[in-house]
Amino acid sequence: MGNYEIALCIGVVAPLFMFAVLAFFGHRIGKPTSGWVAVIGVLASLGCATYVLAGWLSATDKAALMATTGYDWVVLNLFGNEMPIEFKVKLDGLTVMMYFMVTLVSTCIFVFSIGYMAGHSDEVDGQCKFHRFFCYLSLFEFSMLGLLISSSIFFLFVFWELVGLCSYLLIGFYFDKKFASNAAMKAFITNRVGDFGFLLGLMLVFVFLQTFDLDQAAANFRHQYATGTGIFAADIDILGWHISGMGLATLMGIGLFCGAMGKSAQFPLHVWLPDAMAGPTPVSALIHAATMVAAGVYLVARVFRLLTPDAQFFIAVIGCITLTITALIAIVQVDIKKVLAYSTLSQLGYMIFGMGVGAWPAALFHLITHAFFKAMMFLGSGQVIEGCHHVQDMRKMGGLRKKMPVTCWTFFIGVLAIAGFGIPGMHIGLGGYFSKDEVLAVAYERTYNWEDRFGGHGKDDEHGAENAHSDASREDDLILRSGKVILASGQAHDEHGTEEHSADEHGAEAAHGESATHGAAAHDAGHGGHHDDPVLAGIAAQQRKIPKWMFWLPIIIAYVTPFYMMRCWWMTFMGKPRDEDVHHHAHESPLMWAPLIVLAIGTVAASYMMFRPQLGEAAVIASDAPLVVAVDGEVPDKAQHEMLGLSHDKAKDPHGALVGIVGFSWLIGMGLAVLIYRNGLELAERIKRLPLVGFIHWCLMEKLFFDHIYDTVLVKGTRSVLAGISNLFDMLVIDGIANLLGRGTVRIAEFSGNIMDTGGVDGLVDAIAESTQGASEMVRQPQTGKIRNYILFGTTGAVLVLAAIIAVVMS
């Protein structure tokens, strides 16, 4: 185990330790101190992260840093073979970047929360919930970091659930409020629905790829694709639905993606995130903006190599829908946190969409930049809410810039970043300008340039040449990146080496015995350029063209985003105060704005510093899979593995191709917002009164009715109808049958018992006596004493005698 792994593990365990401390002694530690305890834990993690990051950036042979040894958590048995579920520290560019980002952001948020919770913690009830809050936060920190460093899909799932738990606990932190506990429950159950799909994918991976290790799984997947074995030869019935080969692989991909749908709140499971704002604002910043919801994207990035073209297309569609509807809903929100929540959803939609179209590094880049500026904005909103004494309605705010300048301007930086502020032609821009627009660019490539791009590389080159010079200001950036490329490719090669090796091991283990060809196949799939061409042809045959609407919707939303963010900012900080009371109380405390500044710096830095190139290198991981149709809008092949840093020069500068389309979207959107909200809400109100607008506004205010539909159809349906019916069925039918049998048996027993009792000799005597009595009774019956009856009987007797005589005579 290398130092870096140990460092990462320490970084993971430190918050857990703090969690234990706070859990057991928190109430003794007391109010501010317990917060600092938690901060110490996360600072330790940050230290480890920095150490690892520094080592990683400076390392020449990154492959050497990869973890080799693991710990067998349990040993499963698959088709009679031992199959350990191994806990191995995942150490690669992606992990390092994410790890660093998470620890940095969460450090700021922890510090912020001390100031924030100081005002909030006591309102739950008499006793102090302060330490419990940091207890949960530390647990979350542990789970999140564990999620990042786990190299096996199984452990991804484990920590996946754990972060879900923490999210549940923290959303429901004010659990004495009904809406808070409802929101918590909604979040967890919605996530569980996603995890159901995740489990399905997990089972498919387990049975068909026969490993949980990500790299191993990718290797097996590639091998199986190359040899047409395993999942590609499989042919199964699920719920009476016949599915096989590529379709099954797609199902696996979609199943794994379902987990991401739950966690990063993608349509149609997006409903829980806005409600999750019921939690304390730092929680919203940490979990529901920066880290946990981004875990979905991280998961997709991790399993990217197991995705088929169809699965990717599915992902892209989901992302596209999500980013559209949520951005539209965000326009009409008046609760500042709700605006941020929906913008988060929309940005997550961009990331997922990017993953779907194959913009692997771009999407992750957007994840990181978004984490910074969105966390910052959430903390800003927390600052505002705290300052305004828990007023969240923006209509009551306004003109706060003088009262809380730091918050105001850091928030503004965030708005610029999410709006994709940047000046085309110069290398100046913030967050979205680089990350989001790159996603759009890749989408553009996939939509319009795909056929000729796939046609051949010569075309690519001249195409690249023509806009290679279009943005001189980013050339140095390219050089910087290309400097690393060689390493990247080397790493790629060695990585293949290791995979080939492990593939061989796997071949030895595998139930089907073409282990001989296996390593070779993995080898070919890994390097052999000439071998790749038929494979690529096969993929090209299967891969889908991105339809135009899936390119244009994000573009439109790129104009909507600056609008609603600017609206939010302007309504909050600019203009005249709309509520004297609120405005009067407003203030900000250093403990809370210091983190804002840190994050603001982080936002700016993240746009320029190592993240993008590092992720570009890490893209090698994503790209060495047979069925990934595009990384950065390119067909991944041998040539590309070397060229990866450079290869997507078309996509690199969005504004080469898209400068006319999105280059100034931020300006237009924000300008429009300023125009409308320049002086108060009157203009907006007037617009709202337009007929059609009014209807649309209503629909958007109702969140397009998702909540209503789910609540009535699913929740009530399950709780009342299904559960009720089955309960009644249980009580009436099943239990009824049981009771019926019981009683029947008892009856039979009584019956037979009686016969037994009175069946004896004495019983016989009784019977005789009774029968005699009965007979006499019977005889006695007609003795009415009425003479007329006697006559009647006599006559009857005569009739009978006569009848007898006649009968005798006649016969």
Partner 1 sequence: MFEIGLTHYLVVATLLFVMGIFVMITKRNAIGILIGVEMVLNGANINLVAFNRYNGMSNIDGQIVSLFVIVLAAAEAALAVAICMNFYKNLNTVDVDHGDTLAG
Partner 2 sequence: MTLRLKKILLLMTPLAIALSFATAPVQAADTDLSLSDQGIQTSADGGLLEALMFYACAGVTLACGFAICLSKNIVRMAVYLFGTLAAVALMYFLLLANFIGVIQLIVYAGGTLILLIFGVMLTSKSPWAKFEVKRSELIAAGIVCALFAGMLLFVVVNAEWPLETDAVVVGSSMTQFGTGLLTDYLVPFEAISVLLLVVMIGAAYMARQE
Partner 3 sequence: MDQHLISWIVFLPMIAGLVLLFVPRELVKWVALFGSGLAFVLSLLLFKTFWGGDAAGVFGDAYGALHHVERAGWITGNRFSIEYFVGLDGLSFPLFLLTTFVSLLACLASFNFDSWKINKGIKAYFFLFLLLETGMLGVFVSLDFFLFYVFWEVMLLPMYFLIGVWGGERREYAAIKFFIFTLAGSVLMLVGLVAMFFYSADAVAKYPELATSYHDGAQVTTGTFDLIELTTNEAIQKHFGDAGTKLLNVRFAPLMFMFLFIGFAIKLPCVPVHTWLPDAHVQAPTPISMILAGVLLKMGGYGFLRLCYGIFPLGGEFWASFLAVIAVVSILYGALCAMAQTDFKKLVAYSSVSHMGYVLLGICVMTTTGFQGAMFQMVAHGISSPMCFFLVGVIYDRAHHRQINKFGGLWLSMPRYGSMATLGFFASLGLPGLCGFVGEAYVLLGTFQAGPHFAWAYTAAICAAFGVVLTAGYILWVVQRVYLGSVREEYKGFPEATGREMLILAPLGALCILLGVLPKQSVFDFMNGTLNLLIDQMNGVTQMAMAAAGG
**Interface ranges with partner 3 (CB under 8 A):** 23, 72-80, 124-125, 127, 154, 157-162, 165, 168, 172, 175-178, 181-182, 184-185, 188-189, 192-193, 195-196, 199-200, 202-204, 206-207, 236-240, 718-719, 722-724, 726-727, 730, 734-735, 737-738, 742, 745
Residue 75's DSSP bridge partners are 84
Binder of residue 796, out of partner 1, partner 3, partner 2, none (CB less than 5 to 8 A by kind): partner 2
Close Cβ partners of 225 (under 8 Å, ≥ 6 residues apart): 232, 525, 535, 626, 627
Ordered alpha helix ranges (H), 638-704: 638-647, 649-652, 654-662, 665-677, 682-688, 691-701
Considering only residues 64, 694, 784, 803, which one is a binding residue for partner 1 as defined by CB under 8 A? Answer: 784
CA distance 526 to 502: 13
Considering only residues 239, 787, 807, 810, which one is a binding residue for partner 1 as defined by CB under 8 A? Answer: 787
* Nearer Cβ to partner 3 (711/766): 711
Binder of residue 799, out of partner 1, partner 2, partner 3, none (CB less than 5 to 8 A by kind): partner 2
**SS3 at position 87:** strand
* Nearer Cβ to partner 3 (748/799): 748
* Nearer Cβ to partner 2 (605/806): 806
Give me the least distance between CB of 797 and partner 2, in Å please.
Answer: 10
Considering only residues 242, 469, 576, 780, which one is a binding residue for partner 1 as defined by CB under 8 A? Answer: 780
How many of the chain's residues bind partner 2 (CB under 8 A)?
9
Give me the least distance between CB of 481 and partner 3, in Å please.
Answer: 38
Considering only residues 791, 801, 803, 805, which one is a binding residue for partner 1 as defined by CB under 8 A? Answer: 791
Give me the least distance between CB of 791 and partner 2, in Å please.
Answer: 9
Q: Minimal CA–CA distance to 340: which of 161, 185, 571?
A: 571
* Nearer Cβ to partner 3 (206/611): 206
Question: Cα 314 vs. chain centroid, distance in angstroms?
Answer: 15
Distance from the first to the final alpha carbon of the chain: 120
* Nearer Cβ to partner 2 (549/793): 793
**SS3 at position 502:** helix
Considering only residues 783, 801, 803, 804, which one is a binding residue for partner 1 as defined by CB under 8 A? Answer: 783
**Can residue 768 be called a binding residue for partner 2 (CB under 8 A)?**
no
Ordered alpha helix ranges (H), 576-610: 580-585, 590-608
Give me the least distance between CB of 180 and partner 3, in Å please.
Answer: 8
- Main-chain phi, psi angles of 236, to 5 degrees: -130, 165
| Total residue count of the chain as it appears in this document | 811
Tokens read off for 161? 């659930």
Give me the least distance between CB of 794 and partner 2, in Å please.
Answer: 10
Q: Minimal CA–CA distance to 335: which of 575, 559, 572, 673?
A: 572
Binder of residue 780, out of partner 1, partner 3, partner 2, none (CB less than 5 to 8 A by kind): partner 1
Contact by Cβ (8 Å): 596, 406: yes
Binder of residue 206, out of partner 3, partner 2, partner 1, none (CB less than 5 to 8 A by kind): partner 3
* Nearer Cβ to partner 1 (738/791): 791
Binder of residue 806, out of partner 3, partner 1, partner 2, none (CB less than 5 to 8 A by kind): partner 2
Interface residues for partner 2 in 772-791 (CB under 8 A)?
Answer: 788
CA distance 99 to 103: 6
Considering only residues 28, 242, 530, 788, which one is a binding residue for partner 1 as defined by CB under 8 A? Answer: 788
- Choices 187-195, 492-500, 609-617, 797-805 (CB under 8 A): range interacting with partner 2: 797-805
Tokens read off for 548? 């135009």
Cα atoms in the Cβ-side hemisphere of radius 13 Å centred on 299 = 37
* Nearer Cβ to partner 1 (792/803): 792
Binder of residue 701, out of partner 2, partner 1, partner 3, none (CB less than 5 to 8 A by kind): none
Binder of residue 785, out of partner 1, partner 3, partner 2, none (CB less than 5 to 8 A by kind): partner 1
* Nearer Cβ to partner 2 (756/802): 802
Considering only residues 430, 795, 808, 811, which one is a binding residue for partner 2 as defined by CB under 8 A? Answer: 795
Q: Minimal CA–CA distance to 187: which of 248, 256, 134, 263?
A: 263
CA distance 465 to 536: 24
**Can residue 796 be called a binding residue for partner 2 (CB under 8 A)?**
yes
| Chain position carrying tokens 């089907």 | 512
Binder of residue 784, out of partner 2, partner 3, partner 1, none (CB less than 5 to 8 A by kind): partner 1
**SS3 at position 448:** helix
- Choices 187-195, 662-670, 726-734, 800-808 (CB under 8 A): range interacting with partner 2: 800-808
How many of the chain's residues bind partner 1 (CB under 8 A)?
10
**Can residue 785 be called a binding residue for partner 1 (CB under 8 A)?**
yes
**Can residue 542 be called a binding residue for partner 1 (CB under 8 A)?**
no
* Nearer Cβ to partner 2 (77/781): 781
Torsion angle of C-alpha atoms 74, 79, 82, 87, degrees rounded to 10: -40
| Chain position carrying tokens 């979990």 | 287
Close Cβ partners of 650 (under 8 Å, ≥ 6 residues apart): 441, 445, 449, 453, 460, 463, 464, 467, 633, 656, 657
- Choices 375-383, 446-454, 730-738, 802-810 (CB under 8 A): range interacting with partner 2: 802-810
Give me the least distance between CB of 741 and partner 3, in Å please.
Answer: 9
Tokens read off for 381? 């909103």
CA distance 286 to 382: 12
Close Cβ partners of 772 (under 8 Å, ≥ 6 residues apart): none
- Main-chain phi, psi angles of 306, to 5 degrees: -100, 10
Q: Minimal CA–CA distance to 519: which of 546, 537, 549, 498?
A: 498
* Nearer Cβ to partner 3 (124/704): 124
Close Cβ partners of 312 (under 8 Å, ≥ 6 residues apart): 253, 355, 356, 357, 358, 628, 629
Close Cβ partners of 326 (under 8 Å, ≥ 6 residues apart): 267, 270, 342, 343, 345, 346, 349
Give me the least distance between CB of 793 and partner 1, in Å please.
Answer: 10
CA distance 304 to 312: 9
**Can residue 792 be called a binding residue for partner 1 (CB under 8 A)?**
yes
Q: Minimal CA–CA distance to 357: which of 400, 324, 313?
A: 313
**Can residue 773 be called a binding residue for partner 1 (CB under 8 A)?**
no
* Nearer Cβ to partner 3 (302/638): 302
Give me the least distance between CB of 728 and partner 2, in Å please.
Answer: 53
**Can residue 683 be called a binding residue for partner 2 (CB under 8 A)?**
no
Give me the least distance between CB of 790 and partner 1, in Å please.
Answer: 10
**Can residue 792 be called a binding residue for partner 2 (CB under 8 A)?**
yes
CA distance 381 to 123: 20
| Residue 517 to residues 83, 306, 523, 525, 644, Cα–Cα distance (Å) | 21, 21, 10, 12, 29
Give me the least distance between CB of 788 and partner 2, in Å please.
Answer: 7
**Can residue 576 be called a binding residue for partner 1 (CB under 8 A)?**
no
Ordered alpha helix ranges (H), 388-474: 405-419, 435-444, 450-455, 457-468
Binder of residue 159, out of partner 3, partner 1, partner 2, none (CB less than 5 to 8 A by kind): partner 3
* Nearer Cβ to partner 3 (256/416): 256
Considering only residues 537, 687, 713, 803, which one is a binding residue for partner 2 as defined by CB under 8 A? Answer: 803
Torsion angle of C-alpha atoms 70, 74, 78, 81, degrees rounded to 10: 70
* Nearer Cβ to partner 2 (679/796): 796
Tokens read off for 203? 């089972």
The contact set with partner 2 (CB under 8 A) reads 788, 792, 795-796, 798-799, 802-803, 806
The contact set with partner 1 (CB under 8 A) reads 780, 783-788, 791-792, 795
